[in-house]
Structure 1
Amino acid sequence: MPYLVAEELPRETAGSRFRALLRRPGILRLPGTHNGMSAIQAKTAGFEGLYLSGAAMTASMGLPDLGIITVDEVAFFIRQIARASGLPLLVDGDTGYGEALNVMHMVRVFEEAGAGAVHIEDQLLPKKCGHLNDKKLADAHDMAAKVAAAAKARRDLVILARTDAAASEGLDGAVARAKLYMEAGADAIFPEALNTAEMFRAFAKRMPGVPLLANMTEFGKTPFFTASEFEEMGYSMVIWPVSSLRVANKAQEQLYAAIARDGGTHKAVDRMQTRAELYATIGLHDYEALDASIVQTIIPEGMPQRVAGSR
């Protein structure tokens, strides 16, 4: 049903619904969704929670993931994904967009936009993707102050603290930071860019009882593991942050190349979502039914075929 119908809207907060998913047995699978359409498609596939990646957001805007975008720009993405899917959403909060007061502002804006959870990382600006080299880490106590500020500002938002320390401070440094962040008020920990199964297991063993998030990004430092393998290693959540954007971008690249090469899209139509499929996905007829002034759309049966010799 359309999101405009009040009786179809969730009655509980996004934060409480995210917590409920996290309490359920089994690992919580959170595919990356970079816009409203991908959120609907992920929900249709059966997922019950979603993830919004900073790298996917910035890439979709034609920008690198260097902490350039603003709180309000992220809120635009949160609103469309939460509205389109109705599912609890974990949002990439980068470094919190500043210090303690900025973090508190971010938490309020994200929660009001419909986020169920946010993760904040312990890098300094300009930040980098967690799987890249030479990241600059914030002082652990400064990061802990951000976590405490986030916990103080939230109504019901789930707070995850991400640490990028494994690359430069080793597992001991990452664990020490994670414990400090939990003491500051984090609900869960996201150890970024672990690169072996042994590291994942060792980190989980040293953080007993703490919900942990695993990042299964492609082309990074982490080998391919399945959700069930991460669960066996001791992880409560797993994200595939940029996968949907990577697939969409590759398909668009091939489409534009086909138009340039063939002078049209006629050789790419078999790879397209049809008009009927698009309207079914976004619920066009459901929206039309809400307004008696709209005549229900009749979907064309097919593209007219050009008669040989005509123009």
Structure 2
Amino acid sequence: MPDTVPDQGSHGHDTPLERRRAFRRMVESRSAALLPGAANALSARIIEDVGFKAVYVTGAGVTNTQLGLPDLGLVTATEIAETTARISDVCRLPVLVDMDTGFGNALNAYGTVQKLERAGAAAIQIEDQVFPKKCGHFAGKAVIPIEEMLGKLKACLDARTDENTLIVARTDARAIEGFEAALDRAHRMAEVGADVLFIEAPESVEEIRAIGALPTPQLVNFVVGGKTPMMEVEELEKAGFSLVLFANAALQASVKAQQEVLASLLKNGSLREVGDRLATFEERQRMVGKPELDALVARYEGS
């Protein structure tokens, strides 16, 4: 019988402070670390189990998965904080949390950062869209004045209680005011203390490389079917990026897999044609940590 619950993954960290320090080191290394998105605790556990070193709580994914609705600013701060807490409870990776626009003005952003930090966030992302926001690859976006965004960003920086909690500042100005205006906003955000810059939806490899040349660490986001051209991670590391975000790759894979498996079940009345697409019963239990809980039962109940 083990004395402790078995370790959950080779890259995990036991305390929020350790996770925040690990994420800061990752950002400072500028190694183009891959950052998959999770919309729930199970997805986060899979990301950790596969071997990634950090996880992204995706606002779009939470909206799609938990509400069954598009990314149009419909999710609440409470829902994001609850999802973050559930993920932090079972996943030992550092968590970067998408808090959209901060769910209101600077005061709302201040309070949201406090909630998310308590929920276990290692880093928190805020953007400059008009509230309620839209997906960064949707048409019809609008951004707030830069001075208003800087005030919200300062509120986020002041709200954190741990200096290792990083604040990621995102601008969506590329689609509205052009690339140079987006770069200018990024520079202004860096001047007031943003730890990481995120220029959403660049539209060419040249724009991506220009973002990578910024002195403050940067994040690039890839969306299958979105506006940003795909690049290999080796190219992105060479360009100077810290983080490479695939916010909804797991969600899109899940949608397709469920459609195909369930369509086959409806057509055939069985899973005979798609049985190899399913995780085994044993694998499903392993992914949700049943062996670890069984060990606790044996330890405390003597079975």
Q: Displacement, 1:3?
A: 8.9
The aligned counterpart of 1:144 is: 150
| Residue 12 (str. 1) matches residue 17 (str. 2) | yes
Aligned residue for 2:96, secondary structure, equals: strand
TM-score (norm: length of structure 1): 0.88
CA distance in 2, matches of 1:117, 1:123: 19
- What one-letter code is carried by the residue in structure 1 that aligns with 2:43? S
- What one-letter code is carried by the residue in structure 2 that aligns with 1:30? L
- What one-letter code is carried by the residue in structure 2 that aligns with 1:63? L
CA distance in 1, matches of 2:148, 2:22: 30
CA distance in 2, matches of 1:246, 1:159: 27
CA distance in 2, matches of 1:204, 1:43: 27
- 1:222 aligned residue (221, 228, 232): 228
- What one-letter code is carried by the residue in structure 2 that aligns with 1:34? A
CA distance in 1, matches of 2:281, 2:77: 34
Aligned residue for 2:297, secondary structure, equals: coil
Change (3 A) 1:31 1:192: same
Deviates more, 1:75-84 or 1:142-151: 75-84
The aligned counterpart of 2:186 is: 178
Aligned residue for 1:289, secondary structure, equals: helix
| Residue 24 (str. 1) matches residue 24 (str. 2) | no
Deviates more, 1:31-40 or 1:93-102: 31-40
Q: Displacement, 1:225?
A: 1.1
The aligned counterpart of 1:167 is: 175
CA distance in 2, matches of 1:250, 1:259: 14
CA distance in 1, matches of 2:188, 2:35: 26
Deviates more, 1:77-86 or 1:10-19: 10-19
Report 1:126-145 matches (<5 A): 126-145=132-151
CA distance in 2, matches of 1:76, 1:170: 36
Q: Displacement, 1:203?
A: 2.9
Report 1:191-202 matches (<5 A): 191-202=199-210
- What one-letter code is carried by the residue in structure 2 that aligns with 1:116? A
The aligned counterpart of 2:197 is: 189
Aligned residue for 2:45, secondary structure, equals: helix
Aligned residue for 1:239, secondary structure, equals: strand
| Residue 249 (str. 1) matches residue 255 (str. 2) | yes
- What one-letter code is carried by the residue in structure 1 that aligns with 2:74? I
CA distance in 2, matches of 1:192, 1:124: 15
Q: Displacement, 1:2?
A: 6.5
Contact kept, 8 Å, 2:154 with 2:192, in 1: the verdict is: yes
Contact kept, 8 Å, 1:123 with 1:164, in 2: the verdict is: yes
CA distance in 2, matches of 1:105, 1:295: 45
Listed one character per residue, the Cα deviations across residues 249-283 of structure 1 (whole Å, up to 9, x for unaligned) are 11111222122222233433221100111122223
Contact kept, 8 Å, 2:30 with 2:240, in 1: the verdict is: no
Aligned residue for 1:249, secondary structure, equals: helix
Report runs of 4+ in structure 1 exceeding 6 Å deviation.
293-296
Aligned residue for 1:30, secondary structure, equals: strand
| Residue 44 (str. 1) matches residue 49 (str. 2) | yes
Listed one character per residue, the Cα deviations across residues 105-145 of structure 1 (whole Å, up to 9, x for unaligned) are 11011111111111111100231111121211111110010
- The percent identity for this pair of structures is 37
CA distance in 2, matches of 1:70, 1:285: 34
Report 1:230-269 matches (<5 A): 230-269=236-275
Aligned residue for 1:29, secondary structure, equals: strand
- What one-letter code is carried by the residue in structure 2 that aligns with 1:146? K
Contact kept, 8 Å, 2:261 with 2:277, in 1: the verdict is: no
Q: Larger relative CO (CA 8 A, sep 6+): 1 or 2?
A: 2
RMSD: 2.0
Q: Displacement, 1:25?
A: 5.4
Report 1:46-65 matches (<5 A): 46-61=51-66, 62-65=68-71
Listed one character per residue, the Cα deviations across residues 202-231 of structure 1 (whole Å, up to 9, x for unaligned) are 2333x2x21000001111001111222222
CA distance in 1, matches of 2:125, 2:171: 10
CA distance in 2, matches of 1:272, 1:128: 34
Contact kept, 8 Å, 1:27 with 1:231, in 2: the verdict is: yes
The aligned counterpart of 1:309 is: none
CA distance in 1, matches of 2:263, 2:211: 45
Aligned residue for 2:189, secondary structure, equals: helix
5+ residue gaps, structure 1: 297-311
Contact kept, 8 Å, 1:147 with 1:181, in 2: the verdict is: yes
TM-score (norm: length of structure 2): 0.90
